[in-house]
Amino acid sequence: MSDLTIRNLKKSFDDTHIIKGIDLDIKDHEFVVFVGPSGCGKSTLLRLIAGLEEVTSGSIQLDERDITDVAPAKRDLAMVFQSYALYPHMTVRKNMSFALDLAGIDKAEIQRKVEDAAKVLELGPLLERKPKALSGGQRQRVAIGRSIVRNPKIFLFDEPLSNLDAALRVLMRLELARLHKELNATMIYVTHDQVEAMTLADKVVVLNAGRVEQVGSPLELYHHPVNQFVAGFIGTPKMAFLKGTVKAVSNAGVTVALDCGPHYQLPHQSTSLKPGDDITFGIRPENIEVVGADQSPFKVRLDVTEHLGADTYCYIKLANGEMMTVRAPGDFMADYGQNAGLLPDLSQAHLFDASGKTIPRPRTPAQAA
Amino acid sequence: MLTLKQGRQLQTVLLGTLAWLVALTIFFPIFWMILTSFKTEIDAFATPPQLFFTPTLENYLHIDARSDYFHFAWNSVVVSFGSTLLGMLLAVPAAYSMAFFETKRTKSTLLWMLSTKMLPPVGVLVPIYLIFKDFGLLDTKFGLVLIYTLINLPIMVWMVYTYFKEIPKDILEAARLDGATALQEIYRVLLPISKGGLASTVLLSLILSWNEAFWSLNLTASSAAPLTALVASYSSPEGLFWAKLSAVSTLACAPILIFGWLSQKQLVRGLSFGAVK
């Protein structure tokens, strides 16, 4: 078992409050990703769990045991650092056996565990090398191997892929996902890269300015962000946010007038909105279709288009200065400055009130499941 | 007009010449001292100075007859190594806490430590002399070890701090998560990683202690007197015997010169280590 329970956790450095009261439950075998912009406190939260920073207030429990003030080594956690933090003066084998060695485990047992881990990570031929004779990806694997041999309750990863090049990052991402399945381990992973978060996580924790914005599965966050911050942070290219005003509210939904022109009747249900309120209309690039200028009331001029092969990104600057991106099919062709119309899929649109909170929309059967 | 390549060559030549000039200027007194030690007293005094002469060993024989060189040399060895060892035992934990558990006051503490080196030693001669007298430390090797440790400690802490600063904190945190105690962290991870820098610190401390003269002259008489005191004993009472003084100086410098020569690679590497970054 390894259930982690965090209650009202706070951390301040002098007068700077980094973590402002976090409650979080992490279940056995879960792959949890902390994601957020830089400075949101995600690394600090991980370091608090690891015991590398002292908690200001609140508690951390691992399987009913309060570990808030327990020394890092006694927490039964292993951590993979962004810089790998390998011991430069030790061979790969020594790096991996260091913790077991300190724990006074039998030599033959250590050897067996190291060889096992080396096999899983394909490090066998490198065991007698020093870290400086390894490539970035190999160092990364040694760092992971170092945690595997200890068989910890929870694996902690602090942006482990950010020092790798793009191709290797994708490879290592897959390897981590595979490792999670094979070891059936609980993992907590910190990243600023929302693609890593979406692809790896069972559960994503979106952090911003020291608070949890939302916790949920990747698709939950994608389809039902609780506020504008999460909506903007998850998904690439970013969701477009268009300012507007509420025209009417009824049982059938909300009618909005966007500053850039069109009026839309949306199925969202709200009791708090009233006509005249400021509102933000959010639509993901993949939920908009580009049509002829005469086929939609939402008339725009296309800016630059980028052909990625499978997709085409059309960048659009609206008459009122707002920017948005549309994801069109790969073979979509358009000229710079061409007039066009946009058809947003209103069933996929998001509405945020003036404070940025989401106005809920009815769930489609697929999303509800 | 010079081409780019010619310009670069000229620059190399000029810089090389300058470096040689500086090196020769620094080396000349040592060279002259060694040369003079093989002259007769008359040759040593001659004007104009003589570069060519009939070498003699009479100065060295005289010193051998008059004083027990190995007594002084042994004192120098004990005192330099003793103070270096004690200094390292204090400097390593101090630098460890400053480098890895930095507080608001760390920087000012470091500066304050270094500022004690700016104090003229003679300013504290009387109080230190009295303390040494009261504690029975005058003319003891232990007393010299203490005072050398204290005067070299700021530099040692500063140097070790600089080397420790270069080590990513992550590595120590990884060791902490791996179950290392603070001592294991230092002995099994920190010291092996920074051994190059530590070796330079040890070398510098040895050299500084070996060459120290002010305190050894004032706090020792005979039983604990190191080589610097031996040299000084040849200068005053009998007037100026340049050749003998040169010979005894050569004998005093020789061990540390040879030692420095053998370890110069390490010393240069260590001293430039922190500066390059």
Domain ranges, ordered by start, for chain A: 4-232, 237-361
* Residues A204, A197 contacting (CB under 8 angstroms): yes
Residue at token pair 């059936």: A184
Dihedral sign (CA B166, B170, B171, B175): positive
Domains in chain B with CATH codes: 70-239+255-276 (1.10.3720.10)
Q: What confidence tier does B140 reach under pLDDT thresholds 50, 70, 90?
A: very high
Q: What pLDDT does A272 receive?
A: 85
The size of chain A, in residues, is: 369
- Write down the mean pLDDT value for chain A: 89
Least confident span in A315-319, B50-54, B112-116, B118-122: B50-54
**Residues of B with Cβ-Cβ distance to A102 under 8 angstroms:** 178-180, 184
| CA pair distance A161, A166, nearest whole angstrom | 9
pLDDT tens for each residue of B15-61: 999 999 999 999 999 999 999 899 888 787 777 887 788 888 888 88
- pLDDT of A118-134, one tens digit each? 888 888 888 999 998 88
Cβ contact B174–A88 (<8 Å): no
Closest Cβ–Cβ partner in B168, B171, B179 for A99: B179
Take residue A116 and report the two structure tokens written for it: 């096992």
At B260 the pLDDT is 84
The radius of gyration of chain A's CA atoms, rounded to the nearest angstrom, is 25
- In chain B, residues with a C-beta closer than 8 Å to the C-beta of A50 are 173, 177
Q: What is the pLDDT of residue B274?
A: 45
**Run of H or E including B110:** helix B106-115
Q: DSSP per residue over B117-180, as a string? A: GGS-GGGGHHHHHHHHHHTT-TT-HHHHHHHHHHHHHHHHHHHHHHHHHTS-HHHHHHHHHTT-
Question: DSSP class of residue A70?
Answer: S
* Residue recorded with tokens 């910890």: A152
Asked whether residue A271 carries a pLDDT value surpassing 50, the answer given is: yes
> Using the beta-carbon criterion (under 8 Å), do B173 and A102 form an inter-chain contact?
no
Summarize pLDDT for A180-231 with one digit per residue, the tens: 988 888 999 999 888 889 999 999 999 999 999 999 999 999 999 999 999 9
With residue B109 as reference, give the H or E element that holds it: helix B106-115
Give residues with Cβ within 8 angstroms of A217, minimum separation 6: A201, A202, A203, A204
Nearest CA in chain A to B185: A102
Neighbours of A13 (CB within 10 A): 10
pLDDT at B275: 39
Q: Mark A75-103 as b/e (b = at least 16 C-beta within 10 Å).
A: bbbbbbbbbbbbbebbbbbbbbbbbbbbe
Asked whether the beta carbons of A270 and A359 are under 8 A apart, the reply is yes
Confidence of residue B84 (pLDDT cuts 50, 70, 90): very high
The answer to whether residue B273 scores a pLDDT higher than 60 is: no
**Are A25 and A2 within 8 A, CB to CB?**
no
Per-residue burial over A192-217, b if 16 or more Cβ lie within 10 Å, else e, is bbbebbbebbebbbbbbebebbbbbe
* Cα-based distances in Å from B108 to B114, B115, B154, B223: 10, 10, 13, 40
**Contact between A102 and B184 using a beta-carbon 8 Å cutoff:** yes
Q: Kindly identify which residue of chain A lies nearest to residue B180, measuring between CA atoms.
A: A102
First to last CA, chain B: 36
Strand partners, A342: A290
Comparing A369 with A129, the larger pLDDT belongs to A129
Give the total residue count for chain B. Answer: 277
**In the predicted model, what is the mean pLDDT of residues A17-45?**
91
Q: Give A26's contacts (C-beta < 8 A, 6+ positions apart).
A: A3, A4, A5, A6, A32, A154, A186, A188, A203
- Cα–Cα dist A217/A368, whole Å: 13
Which candidate, A71, A49, A52, A72, places its Cα nearest to that of A62? A49
Which positions ≥6 away from A263 have C-beta within 8 Å?
A247, A255, A256, A257, A297
Q: If you compute the radius of gyration of chain B from its CA atoms, what whole number of angstroms results?
A: 23
Question: Which residues of B have a CB under 8 Å from any CB of A?
Answer: 168, 170-171, 173-180, 184, 188-189, 192-193
The helix (H) or strand (E) run that includes residue A191 is strand A186-191
Residue for token pair 């400021």 = A278
* Closest chain B CA to residue A74: B179
A window 111-150, beta carbon within 8 A of B: 146, 150
A164 pLDDT more than 90: no
Does the structure show a pLDDT above 60 at B89?
A: yes
ipTM tops the 0.85 cut: no
Any idea which architecture A4-232 has in CATH?
3-Layer(aba) Sandwich (3.40)
* Beta strands A4-13; A57-62: pairing state: antiparallel
Chain A from 18 to 57: CB within 8 A of any B CB: 50-52
What's the token pair of residue A168?
């290797």
- b/e code B68-79 from CB counts within 10 Å (16+ = b): ebeebbebbbbb
CATH of domain A237-361: 2.40.50.140
Does pLDDT of B277 surpass 60?
A: no
Apex CA A251: angle with CA A250 and CA A253, to 5°?
A: 70
Cβ–Cβ under 8 Å, residues A241 and A281: yes
Pairing of strands A240-250, A211-216: unpaired
Region label for A149, one of left (φ > 0), alpha (ψ between -120 and 50) or beta (otherwise):
alpha
Query: For residue B239, is pLDDT > 80?
Result: no
What is the model's pLDDT at position A184? 87
**CB-CB: which of A71, A81, A89 is closest to B174?**
A81
Contact yes or no for B154/B113 (Cβ under 8 A): yes
Locate A248 and state its tokens.
């009417």
Q: Which long-range contacts (CB under 8 A, 24 or more apart) does A179-186 make?
A: A179/A120, A179/A144, A179/A148, A180/A31, A182/A120, A183/A148, A184/A29, A185/A29, A185/A152, A185/A154, A185/A155, A186/A2, A186/A4, A186/A26, A186/A27, A186/A28, A186/A29, A186/A30, A186/A31, A186/A32, A186/A153, A186/A154, A186/A155
Q: How far apart are CA B204 and CA B215, in angstroms?
A: 18
- Terminal Cα-to-Cα distance of chain A (whole angstroms): 28
Cβ distance of B177 and A102 shorter than 8 Å? no
The structure's pTM equals 0.81
Encode pLDDT of B192-222 as tens digits.
988 888 988 998 899 999 988 899 988 888 8
Integer CA distances (angstroms), B160 to A312, B110, B198, in order: 57, 12, 6
For the stretch A64-122, pLDDT in tens is 889 999 988 888 899 999 888 999 999 999 999 999 998 888 999 999 989 888 888 88
Q: Closest Cα partner for A31 from A186, A172, A144?
A: A186
Which residue carries 């500086």 as its tokens?
A: B22
User: How far does CA B140 lie from the centroid of its chain?
Assistant: 21
Facing residue for A83 by CB, picked from B170, B189, B192: B170
